[in-house]
């Protein structure tokens, strides 16, 4: 069972209070109508799905009902950090590789 820290509530709560909301940091294209089919398909359907460090969005569904980001390892399930939408992660693939 994951124990997730909600940066809005300032508390750790059990995974049942949250909904997973997919990969983080995917900007919506500025002008969808101008994209090629490939670029639009990539945006809609293709995700990183890494074995290891993953940056993802979570929704505190039965709590504050707000979204935030989490950096989590998809093999060990260790959560490195939670951080608000719009912020950059302090644990990134590059910093992980450097460490």
Partner 1 sequence: MANRYSGFGLFRHALRYHENWQRAWRNPTPKTHYDVIIIGGGGHGLATAYYLASQHGITNIAVLEKGYLGGGNTGRNTTIVRSNYLWDESGQLYEHAMKLWEGLSEELNYNVMFSQRGVLNLGHTLQDMRNIERRVQSNRLNGIDSHVVTPDEIKKIVPIINIDNLRYPIMGSSWQPRAGVARHDAVAWGYARAADALGVDLLQETAVTGMRIEGGTIRGVETNRGFIGADRVGCVVAGNSGVLAGMAGLRLPLESHPLQAFVSEPLKPVLDTVVMSNHVHGYVNQSDKGDLVIGAGIDGYNGYGQRGSMPVIEHTAAAICEMFPMFRRVRMNRQWGGIVDTCPDACPIISKTPVDGLYFNCGWGTGGFKATPGSGHVFASTIANDSPHPLAAPFALDRFYSGALIDEHGAAGVAH
- Smallest gap from Cβ 51 to partner 1, in A, equals 5
Asked if residue 32 binds partner 1 (CB under 8 A), the reply is no
Contacts of 27 (CB under 8 A, 6+ apart): none
Percentages helix, strand, coil for the chain (3-state, rounded to 5) are 20, 35, 45
For residues 44-73, which are near Zn ion according to CB under 5 A?
A: 60, 63-64
| List of residues contacting partner 1 (CB under 8 A) | 1-2, 14-16, 19-20, 37-38, 40-42, 44-51, 54, 56, 72, 74-77
């Amino acid at each position: 069972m994951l124990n997730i820290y909600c940066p809005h509530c300032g508390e750790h709560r059990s995974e049942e209070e949250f909904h997973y909301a997919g990969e983080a940091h995917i900007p919506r294209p500025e002008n969808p109508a101008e994209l090629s089919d490939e670029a639009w398909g990539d945006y809609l359907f293709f995700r990183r799905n890494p074995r290891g460090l993953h940056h993802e969005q979570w929704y505190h569904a039965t709590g504050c009902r707000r979204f935030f980001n989490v950096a989590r390892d998809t093999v060990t399930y260790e959560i490195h950090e939670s951080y608000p939408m719009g912020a950059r992660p302090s644990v990134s693939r590059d910093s992980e590789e450097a460490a």
